[in-house]
Amino acid sequence: MASQHSTSAKGWQEKVAKKRLSCQKAVPTAWALPQSVLDSLPALSEFSTTRLDLIAKDIPRVSGILTERELDITESHDVSSLLAGLASGTFTSAEVTLAFSKRAAIAHQLTNCLTETFFSQAEERARYLDDLRSKGKPLGPLHGLPISLKDTYQVEGTQACIGAVALLDKTSTENSAMVDLLLDLGAVLYVKTNVSQVLMCVESDNNVFGRTLNPWNTSLTAGGSSGGEGALVAFRGSPLGVGTDLAGSVRIPSLCCGTYGFKPSSRRLPYGRQVMPLNVGIGAIVPSAGALANDMSALQIFMRAVIDANPFSYDATVVDVPWRRNHDSSRPKLRLGLLPEDPLFPLHPPVRETIKNAVNILKSHGHEVVLLDAADCHVAALNQIGGRLLELDQTPAHIIASSGEPAVPSMAMFAKYYARIGWDFIAPEITTMDRLEQFGALQNQRAGIAESWRKLWAKHNLDAIVSPSAQSTAMEHDHQGWPAYSMLLNMLDYPACVIPFGRATHNGTDLAADLGHGTPAYKPDVVEGAPCSIQVFTSGMRDEECLAVAAVIDTCLKTTAAP
């Protein structure tokens, strides 16, 4: 493989330069930020450490690119009200699509969140949908709604290089299963978004497109691997983004960028015909498609619409289970577990404070919260097993090496965080086995822990569990750390929802500290103001219950001021 595709350093750089130029030309010049706006901002680039709150700057309004009506469409409406407006004729799909296309173009110029753009095709699609609506023939429940896609999803005639130079020679000749389904539901697809280099990191940075910046604080990461989606949705350049999640790739951008994010159980949503840097025959950890949005109801609308569309008819990997509307979502008062802090993955003070405040609010609403025993949760063990399983698949490294491009710095730092964790849960003899024997032994250990978790659910009779989304908030670029509290749930194949809640603050008593292991160093002044969050999860295939409970919790958090 390497000898066939290997190029000189100059060769890969020329490919990157050509690709970046084509991306730049795809953004209409009428949507370029005025020089006066650019002059008012510090110089921003993927190498910049400038701290800037792009959202507070209100650049879409200041720039004059969006009309007042377009600003209202993108800022004052959630997915539910957009769909209602599209259905009633209050909005046309053409104007909604144009509004979000303009805002996405502005977001990209500031945060570098996009990869492929197809604005003119989206405009044509929107006009077609408006014509169908005028004839009383709406396509489906998402009729006329713009939806953004992670770069992994194939859209015929565009590229899906997943941040790898080696894949820049390929153009998609077919749509991913999810893309076909969304089009049949009436959605308008208009942009794809930036990712980690071959999806294997929690920072969205690669040699092809560069680094995505966090719109709340440009000195912090937007997360990964769906970081482009996180930045775009947070900037309100998309009402709903579709990503993927292997070890937190939807939830980490959500926690970093202050959005809602949902990872379903694997195989609930179509995943087929995506570009993936994995040997699917190994299938060590089965990833999930998932969604990011600025409100909880958007996640519920998306899940219902996709599963009601019989996704098995689009993708053989889907479990053919209808969306359960009459599920027993919860008792009048919830019985919730609280996942404790794992000793190998200590929490930053803002995360610890966020969890404490959320628990106090939930208790004030009459919900019961049961602190679980760290020894019963096996967070570190499942993370070590997951890391070792991923190491068995060398496909990502081969893809990077085959073009001659180097690994980006975030990849090296991610490996450094993994290496410094004090792992001691896997029997040493496993490391001496051949790869197939290792795979079997690791999966056996994983199955044993899954059985322990089954007993834990039964023992405590829980509706759901509240946990940290990660050890930290969004961190400085290249320093997000190991995704312990998100990978846990991929290893168990549990659905999980990230709920934004509050901002990082410190009262002067929290000192900077290197907490060791897989947790990045805590720097209170650096993360001041970063979005905080909690994570809510249930047991496998209880996606309906997970979202229902998360909605109850979200309402409690929004209607009660944090202490």
Q: Is 533 a catalytic residue?
A: no
User: What letter represents residue 81's amino acid?
Assistant: S
**Which pair of tokens denotes residue 224?**
């990964």
531 DSSP β-pair partners? 503
Q: Cα separation of 365 and 530, whole Å?
A: 27
CB neighbourhood size of 544 (10 A): 23
DSSP reduced 3-state for 335: strand
Contacting residues for 479 by C-beta, under 8 A, at least 6 apart: 221, 413, 520, 521
Identify which of 196, 240, 248 has the alpha carbon closest to the alpha carbon of residue 468.
248
- Which among 63, 93, 101, 150 is annotated as catalytic? 150
- Which among 93, 101, 204, 249 is annotated as catalytic? 249
- DSSP state, residue 31: G
Q: Cα separation of 289 and 243, whole Å?
A: 6
Within 366-483, residue ranges assigned H as helices are 374-377, 379-391, 395-403, 409-419, 435-460
522 DSSP β-pair partners? 513
Q: Cα separation of 472 and 481, whole Å?
A: 8
User: What letter represents residue 166's amino acid?
Assistant: A
Q: At what angle do helices 484-492 and 379-391 cross, to 10 degrees?
A: 80
Q: Cα separation of 116 and 211, whole Å?
A: 15
Q: Contact 482/518 with Cβ under 8 angstroms?
A: yes
Q: Contact 491/539 with Cβ under 8 angstroms?
A: no
Sheet strands side by side (includes 260-263):
114-117, 188-193, 146-150, 240-245, 288-293, 260-263, 496-503, 531-537, 464-467, 335-338, 368-371
In this structure, the strands spanning 114-117 and 188-193 are antiparallel
DSSP 454-490: HHHHHHHT-SEEEE-SSSSSS-BTT-----HHHHHHH
Identify which of 285, 255, 293 has the alpha carbon closest to the alpha carbon of residue 443.
285
**Which pair of tokens denotes residue 542?**
């209880």
Q: At what angle do helices 543-559 and 349-364 cross, to 10 degrees?
A: 90
Q: Is 225 a catalytic residue?
A: yes
Q: Cα separation of 412 and 52, whole Å?
A: 26
- Which among 63, 225, 410, 469 is annotated as catalytic? 225
Measured in Å, how far apart are the chain's first and last C-alpha atoms?
Answer: 57
Q: Contact 475/221 with Cβ under 8 angstroms?
A: yes
Q: Is 196 a catalytic residue?
A: no
- E strand map for 153-220: 188-193
Contacting residues for 370 by C-beta, under 8 A, at least 6 apart: 335, 336, 337, 338, 460, 462
Q: Which residues are catalytic?
A: 150, 225, 249
